[in-house]
A and B are shown apart, each in its own frame.
Chain A
Amino acid sequence: EPEVTQTPSHQVTQMGQEVILRCVPISNHLYFYWYRQILGQKVEFLVSFYNNEISEKSEIFDDQFSVERPDGSNFTLKIRSTKLEDSAMYFCASRNWGAGNTIYFGEGSWLTVV
């Protein structure tokens, strides 16, 4: 079964550093998303991406964050100048056009900022 793959599975970074989280969405999917889950909290929407541009973003997704689809397969989330409160599990998700609302999530990248 096709799946969304994410790397790294776990990253520890120093406060103030930049991190890039990578995702390979399901190959024929057209809509891509990043969600975040702080330990013990709800899964929260960050951003959606379609047709090579951001289509929607939450108030969490401020200038510290950016997304990019550098080639035909990868979808990245960049977090600049990381803060302690950025420590969370970051999930990439994707869905196809006309697939209803079947949004598929990756296994997540656990980010620890120290």
Chain B
Amino acid sequence: QVQLVQSGAEVKKPGASVKVSCKASGYTFTAYYIHWVRQAPGQGLEWIGCINPNSGGTKYAQKFQGRVTMTRDTSIRAAYMELSRLRSDDTAVYYCTRESTTMATNWFDPWGQGTLVTVSS
């Protein structure tokens, strides 16, 4: 079955960087964009950006421009999201999710299990 499995929880100090991985299985990895979404404690869902695993092309939310880098390794069917210059308000669960598209719509399914990133001194 289609599955996304993320790396484990991280604790980082302010100013550090974190890199979260997302390993795909059950489908052609290069055929679907991978998006990253985060959720701060008790808050809603916030889109961070996406990567085209085929070309490596990326698009980031303006809020994260300059601090986020998304990459992929097609040999192991993995996508990565690195966030730098971490602040306490970056504490959140980070999700990867696969975008499916048709001629007239798109949606996110499935989602990874989430990776808790805690930023604390």
A binds B: no
